[in-house]
Amino acid sequence: MRLGHEVRTGEAVAVKVLERARIADADSRARLHNEIEILRKIEHASLLRLLEVIDEPDATYLVTEHVSGGELFAYIDKVGHLPETEAAELFAQMLSAVDSLHALGIVHRDLKPENMLLELRQHGDSSGGGGGGPTREIKIIDFGLGALLPSADEVLTSACGSPHYAAPEMLIGDGYTGRRADLWSLGVCLYATLCGCLPFDEDDMEVLYDKIIDGDFSFDGCPVLSAAAIALIKGARGRACARRGDAAPRLGGARLAICLLYTSDAADEEDS
């Protein structure tokens, strides 16, 4: 990835350089074509915006908006874990973005903090008022493993993505829907932001898969979480695929996570 600038405006852009010599096999070419097709269809504040595709004899250049705040993964690693209100705000953005993908029949299949960039904004950037420290806005990236389908509920069979974020039905191999698999991955992301670690984190892949399939995780070692935060994680990461699907409409409202956690914070203050 390289930093560039738009000639007329001087606006910073990101340029992803894909050398043709490195995408010579059919799978790599298909993945590139797939990513470009998805990027051209999406439009959401929390999804990376494609500006231009430039094809040259030696390489393809994807020009996108420049996102200045680094990966969500690096931010979690730096601070340890996020306060519930901040985690809720970011999670609401994730939900809204992924919901917009699913409405287009697009499933991501590789949702994780490494594939989420943070845009830093000062309070009042858009409204002209306020002040204070920066807020962080999510930008979901890397659609190479995504799928453009007639419906996000179409049954898929190809396992892909990062094992630690994979839904159990994807690992079992009996078919899965991208919508429910994406929702599971978001639940793992929420756990990571709130706890600073992963719910399933084993070096041995066989042990890891068994724990994911069994839903064997706990909140031991996590900071004290509100009941609303725990319920939200369990709802997004419901072990039963159908139950997680039923939870999707309730979790799909972008403000729900914020409302739950802010309400919880207010209740905690009243009780103290």
Comparing CA positions, the residue from 114, 116, 134 lying closest to residue 124 is 134
- Bin 19: left if φ > 0, else alpha if -120 < ψ < 50, else beta: beta
Contacts of 73 (CB under 8 A, 6+ apart): 112, 113, 114, 116
Contacts of 151 (CB under 8 A, 6+ apart): 105
Comparing CA positions, the residue from 148, 124, 120 lying closest to residue 134 is 120
* For the chain, counts of helices (H) and of strands (E): 9, 10
Which residue out of 27, 110, 203, 271 is catalytically annotated? Answer: 110
**Paired residues of 117 in beta bridges:** 71, 139
Handedness of CA 11, 12, 14, 17 (dihedral sign): positive
- The alpha-helical segments, DSSP class H, found in 16-82 are 26-41, 72-79
Check if 110 is active-site.
yes
Tell me the catalytic residues: 110
